[in-house]
Amino acid sequence: MGRKVEIALAKGQYGLGFSVTTRDNPAGGNCPIYIKNILPKGAAVEDGRLRPGDRLLAVDGVEVTGKSQADVVAMLRNVPPGATVRILVSRQQPWKQREIITLDIPVHDSEKAGLGVSVKGKTSSSNNSGNNSNSSSVDLGIFVKSVIHGGAASRDGRLKTNDQLLNVNGISLLGQSNSGAMETLRRALLRTDGPVPGHITLTIARRLNSRSSSVSSLLTDSSDNNAEPTKNQLGPSLGMKKSSSLESLQTMVQEVCKCELFCLIRELAMFK
């Protein structure tokens, strides 16, 4: 079942901030309840410890094994605002220590580099029998590959290499495949009605005490020798200027999907 983790969350204005789901149990019996998504606002993302894929075991000491998804949702909704609820979960691989940060980065119409970041998708690859044909991979999310000089992020100075992008302009990237998250990221950065006018709002996860050159995933335990980050670079940077057509955007997305793991972005959002 993995390591048990108890997390205390205070239900605030935006609720507990996570959704749950069930998975079929091939062995029969009760279907377990899992954390599906961490929402962009709420107690879970502020606390930073709960993660998608955690198995939910108990809520305030009441076991959820054997309960339906609807029953569990009702239990969580019945927690009164301002109250603290104890969530017990089990986790196969603990996250490394990290902090959750929200950045409002100002973007000006006049700057050519836009947000000015290149990003990459990370995967964890494992080989169960020493045969490449039996290897499998798990998408781990979208990370900052580099901060481009002259862009808004470089001028702001807070976004760092290997930061994981969790939420962009109010749109969550969690709970998606890398290719799906890339497309969501593209749409999110094109929004002109983000939470803060004239800014791109990013929620990121940053590993504590990590070197900027590290390529270790935020989502896997480095002690697991069977899981290593893999990456594949996509040629030159993709620059998107203010005059770029929708057709050009679609072509760029197709190129990214072919490579699956990398997308280089220079200008994806202009604010008026």
Q: Are residues 248 and 148 part of one domain?
A: yes
Q: Which of 91, 110, 125 is the C-terminal boundary of a domain? A: 91
Burial code (b: 16+ CB inside 10 Å, e: under 16) for 55-86 equals: bbbebeeeebeebebeebeeebeebeeeeebe
pLDDT tens column, 169-187: 888 887 777 888 888 888 8
Query: Which structural domain, as residue segments, surrounds residue 103?
Result: 98-265
- Domain count within the chain: 2
Q: Which of 91, 123, 141 is the C-terminal boundary of a domain? A: 91
Q: Are residues 121 and 68 part of one domain?
A: no
Q: Are residues 189 and 249 part of one domain?
A: yes
Q: Are residues 120 and 237 part of one domain?
A: yes
Q: Which of 74, 91, 108 is the C-terminal boundary of a domain? A: 91
Q: Are residues 180 and 84 part of one domain?
A: no
Residue 9 lies in a domain: yes
Q: Are residues 225 and 123 part of one domain?
A: yes
Q: Are residues 108 and 67 part of one domain?
A: no
Residue 271 lies in a domain: no
Task: Dump the DSSP string for 22-74.
Answer: E---TT-SPPPEEEEEE-SSSHHHHH----TTPEEEEETTEE-TT--HHHHHH
Q: Are residues 259 and 134 part of one domain?
A: yes
Residue 111 lies in a domain: yes
Q: Are residues 212 and 176 part of one domain?
A: yes
Q: Are residues 195 and 109 part of one domain?
A: yes
What is the C-alpha separation between 259 and 234, in angstroms, rounded? 7
Average pLDDT, the chain: 72
pLDDT tens column, 239-265: 333 333 333 334 333 443 333 333 333
Residue 272 lies in a domain: no
Q: Are residues 73 and 138 part of one domain?
A: no
Give the type of residue at 7: I
Q: What is the CATH number of the domain that holds 38?
A: 2.30.42.10
Residue 204's pLDDT is 92
pLDDT digit string (tens) for the chain, length 272 residues: 568 899 999 999 999 999 998 865 444 456 789 898 888 889 998 888 898 888 999 999 999 988 999 999 999 999 999 999 999 998 865 455 778 899 999 987 665 667 889 999 888 654 444 444 444 456 788 999 999 988 899 999 999 999 999 989 888 887 777 888 888 888 888 877 778 888 889 999 998 764 433 333 333 333 333 333 333 333 333 333 333 333 333 433 344 333 333 333 333 333 33
Residue 270 lies in a domain: no
Residue 159 near residue 147, CB atoms below 8 Å = yes
- Of the candidates 76, 63, 66, 81, the one whose C-alpha atom is nearest the C-alpha of residue 36 is 76
Residue 135 lies in a domain: yes
DSSP state of 227: -
Q: Are residues 236 and 134 part of one domain?
A: yes
Residue 123 near residue 171, CB atoms below 8 Å = no
Residue 189 lies in a domain: yes
Residue 157 lies in a domain: yes
